[in-house]
Structure 1
Amino acid sequence: MKPEEANQLLEPGYLPFEAGYKRLDNGILLVAARSSIMQVTGKMIDWWFSYVQHTEQYKWWHEEDHVFSDWIGERGTGKYIGGTHIAYEKLGGDTIHKLKINFLDPAELLDTSRFAASGVSTAIHARLGEAGKKGWTAKMVHFVRDTPYGCEMRSRFWLGCFEDIDLANDYDTRVAVYPDEIGYGLQKHCHEEMSNLGIFLPALYERETGLKR
């Protein structure tokens, strides 16, 4: 599934490829993760992305892999679209990846008019690049459906979507910038951090908002 085919996520059930990583025919490295998150709803996840800011909070999410966090844009307003998360994190190894994650309207990727019929509670859409440098090198979406136990998150990362940067969107460049081995670490990290939300987010959400699930 390429970014322009992301509306496949709106179909009932699941796709043949829901977890792992693979190289697409255009050189993009597609990484997929599926996480079952207990006692957490899409509404709570949407709130979390508008809340998390500093490093201590970021470490709640993944104590081992998360190293540093800051935010460019509004905080404490319930808004995160248009903001940029500066995140230093490990992805299954010792290397610290210094990322900038710019959050975009999900309607730029998905047909949001189909969300209600598809049981979608929220979708988090962003582009990624290297912190401190211009341009963008990847896209991602976290696609959330509520369940009786909480919610399920189906994540997709498209590594090798170059924008506003001096890199060609061709097969060889994409493989050089994003070799296959990064796919394993990213898939593992994503599944772990999203599953971790079930440990602390329900109590945090109730304490900070006065609301329950």
Structure 2
Amino acid sequence: MIMKLIQDGMGTHLDWSHEMVTPKMIDWFWSNMEKGFILWHPEEHEHLEWAKAPVNGNPIGSIHIAPQTWDDGIRQNLYIRFEDLYTLPAEVKDYIVYEHVVVVAGIGLGDEALKNPVVMGYRIHQWQKTDFGVVGKSSAIGMAKKETKEEGLIWAKHCEEEIGNWGVFLPSLYNLYKVVDNPITNPFADLSIIEPGRNARYKYIETNK
């Protein structure tokens, strides 16, 4: 896997690529995170739970509880919501450049987030097919509080491990679950989009617009 780190006025960004990983595998991962969350970062992740699971193959609005402890030693019980691209600020959508994308928002650190969600920041993960596998980019963008460069580097180290581990476990995990035909226990959502940038919207997922 190849990685490149960039920081700008909006946040921290990682360019990455994988061999032997397909866009469909990554699409599948986002609706089935509980199956691979520990594998995604074994040292820093705890068990993931859905506060609001994807419904009928549509992950928009789903919320997962993702307890984790990053390299700074601070444990966070993150509540993370899968966002509708239509609702995103224009300056966030400007970073969407690839054919598949998920944007999630950190909305709080406890059950209060379910009643009064506050978008602390966005995480954009995006990818597309190449001749060898996939190429992608992951971004951390602070909203309620802009993240410092130092905070961005802590996130980048965590994210680099997550993205890198896709190459280790995701193809095998995806193939194992092919035997499960029940969409309730093995959901799938195609996360490809119509076009990048400010007009980005999903091809196959029903949204608010």
Please confirm whether the aligned pair reaches a TM-score higher than 0.5, indicating the same fold: yes
Taking the aligned partners of 1:203 and 1:79, their CA distance within structure 2 comes to 24
Contact 1:39/1:150 (<8 A) preserved: yes
Aligned pairs for 1:96-111 within 5 A: 96-109=75-88
Structure 2 counterpart of 1:125, from 75, 81, 103: 103
Instruction: Say whether 1:137 aligns with 2:120.
Output: yes
Contact 1:34/1:191 (<8 A) preserved: no
Aligned pairs for 1:1-213 within 5 A: 19-22=5-8, 24=9, 30-53=11-34, 57-75=36-54, 77-109=56-88, 120=99, 122-132=100-110, 133=112, 134=116, 135-159=118-142, 161-162=143-144, 174=145, 178-209=147-178
Distance 1:152 1:193, change over 3 A: same
Distance 1:39 1:76, change over 3 A: farther
Q: Secondary structure at the match of 1:102?
A: strand
How far off is 1:78 after superposition?
3.2
- Deviations 1:18-39 (Å, cap 9, x if unpaired)? 62434x2xxx5x0111222221
- Gapped regions of structure 1 (runs ≥ 5): 1-17, 163-173
How far off is 1:64 after superposition?
0.5
Number of matched pairs: 167
Q: Among the aligned pairs, what percent are the same residue?
A: 26
Q: Secondary structure at the match of 1:142?
A: strand
**What's 2:205 paired with?**
none
Taking the aligned partners of 1:81 and 1:75, their CA distance within structure 2 comes to 7
Taking the aligned partners of 1:150 and 1:72, their CA distance within structure 2 comes to 33
How far off is 1:62 after superposition?
0.7
**Under a length normalisation based on structure 1, what TM-score does the superposition of the two structures give?**
0.68
Taking the aligned partners of 1:141 and 1:108, their CA distance within structure 2 comes to 14
Q: Which has the higher strand share?
A: 1
Q: Which has the higher helix share?
A: 1
**Under a length normalisation based on structure 2, what TM-score does the superposition of the two structures give?**
0.70
How far off is 1:137 after superposition?
0.8
What is the CA RMSD across the aligned residues, in angstroms? 2.6
Taking the aligned partners of 2:79 and 2:98, their CA distance within structure 1 comes to 30
- Gapped regions of structure 2 (runs ≥ 5): 181-209
